[in-house]
Amino acid sequence: MPGAGGRISLRRHGRAGGCTPRIEGGLPLIDPTTCHRGIFEIDGPLPGYAFPTTVSYRPVSERLWTASDGIYRSVFLEGDEGVIAFDTFWSPAAAASYRTAIDRVLPRRDVHTVVYSHDHLDHTGFAYDLAPEASTVLAHEDAAQVIAARGSDGQRPATETWSGERRAFAIDGAEFELINPGATHGSGNVAAWFPDAGALFMVDTVIPGVGYTFVPDWHLDSYLTNMRRLEALEWDTFIPGHFWPVDRTGFSENLAFYERISEAARQALTEGVDPDDYGAVDAWSRERLGQELGRMFRFEEYIGMNVMRFMVHHLTGGWGLEDAGGARRGPL
C-alpha cells in the first residue's frame, strides 16, 4: 500500500490526542480504546467509531476528486504542493479510510488544509484523525462558533474563519469559492463552488431521492428558498454529502420534492391527521403520495418522517432564530 507506513508515523507525531493506529494483518487499525471519542463519555471502547469503511474515489476534473464510502461523500482538491480536503467523514476510522483514498490518488502529500462544510460531527468531527499535519482548518464563522462551544473530542476548531455570503479562495494553486446561501441545515453550512470543474458541493441539503429532514437542525422555514438561490450559479454537477452526484435537473427535483411535501403536510393537517401519530401520518403519506412519488429512492423509508416533520413545522413555526424568518430572497 503506497505511503501507508509513512502516513502512520506521521499521524503518531502529529496527533493532538491519543489515538494510535496499530498494524494488524498489514492493515492500520484504530484502537477504539484510545482514539477520538466525539461527545461520547462512556468509559470503554467505541467499536462503532473504529469500524473500517471502504472509500472509493474518482476524478471530477483535473484537480478535483470525489470520495465516498457508499453513504457519505466528500471532495478533495490537488494543490501544487499538497492537498485540500473537504470534511473528514463520520468517525476516526472513516477519516483514516478517507485519508487512505487521498493517499492513493496523491501519495506522499500533506493535507495542509481541511475545509468544513458545516458543524455536524458525522461530516467534520475528525480532522485530527484525517490530517494531523494540517496547518489550516477553514470554516464559516457560524459553524466555527458551534464547534468551539461543543468541544467534541477529535473535532478540531477552525484556525481560519470567514463571514458573510461569498468568499473566493486560492490555496496552493487551487481555486474555489465558498457560499453561504443562508440557513439550510446545521450551522454555517456552506456550498463549495468549483467553476473550472462545473461542480457545486454541499452537504446534507440536496440528497438524491427522499433524504430525511426529520431530525432537528433542518431549518425548514428558509431551507428551500435559500437552496434555490444556488441555481443561479453556473454548474453542471452537484456533489452531495451522501450517495451520488446529480445534475441540475436532479437538484431541482429534490427541492421540488420537499416543496411538495410541505404542501402535503398542510393538507394532512387540514384533513385532521394527528401529527403526533406516526403510524397515521405514514399511512396517509403512502396512500396519498405513493403513486406520485413512490419511485423516488428511499421513499418507503422516509416519506412518513418527512411529512410528519413538515406537519410539526407548520404547527410550531419552526425552532430558534435560524428557523424563523431566515429566508433570503435576493440574488447571491
Write out the residues near Zn ion by the rule CB under 5 A. 120, 186, 204
Give the E-state strand segments of the chain in sequence order: 21-24, 27-30, 56-59, 64-68, 73-78, 83-86, 111-115, 136-140, 160-162, 166-171, 174-179, 191-194, 199-202, 237-240
CB closer to Zn ion, 100 vs 213:
213
Shortest Å distance, C-beta 78 to Zn ion: 26
Alpha carbon distance 77, 19 (integer Å): 26
- The residue of the chain with the least Cβ separation from Zn ion equals 120
Do the Cβ atoms of 194 and 176 come closer than 8 Å? yes
CB closer to Zn ion, 174 vs 202:
202
CB closer to Zn ion, 12 vs 40:
40
Angle at 236 between CA 80 and CA 322, to 5 degrees: 90
Shortest Å distance, C-beta 245 to Zn ion: 18
CB closer to Zn ion, 186 vs 211:
186
HEC string of 166-234? EEEEEECCEEEEEECCCCCECCCCCEEEEHHHCEEEECCCCCCCCCCCCCCCECHHHHHHHHHHHHHCC
Half-sphere exposure of 12 (CA within 13 A, CB side): 12
Residue 63: name the closest of 10, 102, 97 by CA: 102
Shortest Å distance, C-beta 95 to Zn ion: 16
Shortest Å distance, C-beta 82 to Zn ion: 27
Strand 111-115 with 136-140, pairing: parallel
CB closer to Zn ion, 37 vs 120:
120
Do the Cβ atoms of 233 and 331 come closer than 8 Å? no
Distances (CA, A) of 122 to 10, 94, 111, 242, 293: 24, 10, 20, 11, 29
CB closer to Zn ion, 203 vs 261:
203
Shortest Å distance, C-beta 213 to Zn ion: 11
CB closer to Zn ion, 94 vs 106:
94
Shortest Å distance, C-beta 258 to Zn ion: 16
| Residue position matching grid coordinates 485540500 | 84
CB closer to Zn ion, 114 vs 197:
114
Residue 200: name the closest of 160, 246, 156 by CA: 246
Shortest Å distance, C-beta 123 to Zn ion: 6
Shortest Å distance, C-beta 34 to Zn ion: 27
Residue 161: name the closest of 200, 203, 227, 115 by CA: 115
CB closer to Zn ion, 120 vs 309:
120
Shortest Å distance, C-beta 85 to Zn ion: 17
